[in-house]
A and B are shown apart, each in its own frame.
Chain A
Amino acid sequence: MIFSNLAEKLQDTFDKLRGKGKLTEKDVKAALKEVKMALLEADVNYKVVKNFISKIEDRAVGKEVMDSLTPGQQVIKIVNEEMQELMGGSKEDIAIASEPPTIIMMVGLQGSGKTTSAGKLARKLSKDGKSPLLVAADVYRPAAIRQLQVLGERLDLPVFSMGEDSDPVDIAKGSINYASSHNCDTIILDTAGRLHIDQTMMEELESIKSTVEPNEILLVVDAMTGQDAVNVAKNFDDRLDIDGIVLTKMDGDARGGAALSIKAITGKPIKFAGTGEKLADLETFHPDRMSSRILGMGDVLSLIEKAEKSIDKEKAQALEEKLRKNEFTLEDFMEQMDQVRNMGPMEDILGMIPGMGGAKQLKNMQVDDKQLDYIEAIISSMTPEERRDPEVINGSRRKRIAQGSGTSIQEVNRLLKQFRQTKKMMKQLNSGKMKKGGGFNLPFFN
Chain B
Amino acid sequence: MGFLQRLKDGLKKTKESFVNQVTNIFTGRTNIDDDLFEELEEVLIQADVGVKTTFTLIEKLREDVDQEEITEPEELMDYFQKELQSLLQNDEGGFKFDKDLNIIMVVGVNGAGKTTTIAKIAGRYKEEGKKVMLAAGDTFRAGAIEQLQIWGDRLGVNVIAQQEGSDAAAVAYDAVQSARAKDVDLLIVDTAGRLHTQTNLMEELKKVKRVIDREAAEISAGVEVLLVLDATTGQNAISQAKLFNDAVDVDGVALTKLDGTAKGGIVIAVKNELDIPIKLIGVGEAAEDLQNFDPEEFIEALFSSEE
Contact = CB atoms under 8 A, between A and B. Distances in A.
A224 B109 contact: yes
Contacts, number: 133
Interface string B36-61: 00000010011110110000000000
Given A109-B232, A251-B197, A252-B236, A46 B45 contact: yes
A197 interface: yes
Contacts of A149: 143
Contacts of B123: none
B143 A40 contact: no
Given A232-B232, A254-B236, A40 B45 contact: yes
A83 B173 CA distance: 51
Interface in B166-191: none
Interface string A125-164: 0000000000000000111111111110010000000000
Contacts of B289: none
Contacts of B237: 224, 226
B236 A143 contact: no
A142 B260 contact: no
A195 interface: yes
Q: Is the interface of A mostly helix, strand, loop or mixed?
A: loop
A142 B146 contact: yes
A197 B13 contact: yes
A258 interface: yes
A251 B195 contact: yes
Nearest to B114: A111
B150 interface: yes
Contacts of A227: 45-48, 234, 263
Given A110-B113, A142-B146, A143-B144, A228 B262 contact: yes
Given A113-B110, A226-B232, A227-B234, A151 B142 contact: yes
A73 interface: no
A321 to B, nearest CB: 37
A41 B235 contact: yes
B236 A224 contact: yes
B142 A147 contact: yes
Interface of A: 37, 40-43, 45-46, 109-113, 116, 141-151, 154, 195-197, 222, 224-229, 231-232, 249, 251-255, 257-258, 277, 366
Interface of B: 13, 42, 45-48, 50-51, 109-113, 140-144, 146-147, 149-151, 164, 195-199, 230, 232-237, 239-240, 257, 259-263, 266
Given A224-B233, A254-B236, 20 more contacts: A40-B45, A45-B46, A46-B45, A109-B232, A111-B113, A111-B230, A111-B257, A143-B146, A146-B142, A196-B260, A225-B233, A225-B234, A228-B48, A228-B261, A231-B262, A249-B109, A252-B196, A252-B236, A253-B239, A277-B140
22 contacts: A40-B51, A42-B235, A45-B46, A111-B230, A116-B110, A141-B147, A145-B143, A146-B142, A146-B147, A147-B141, A196-B260, A222-B232, A224-B233, A226-B48, A226-B237, A226-B263, A227-B45, A227-B263, A228-B232, A228-B262, A251-B195, A254-B239
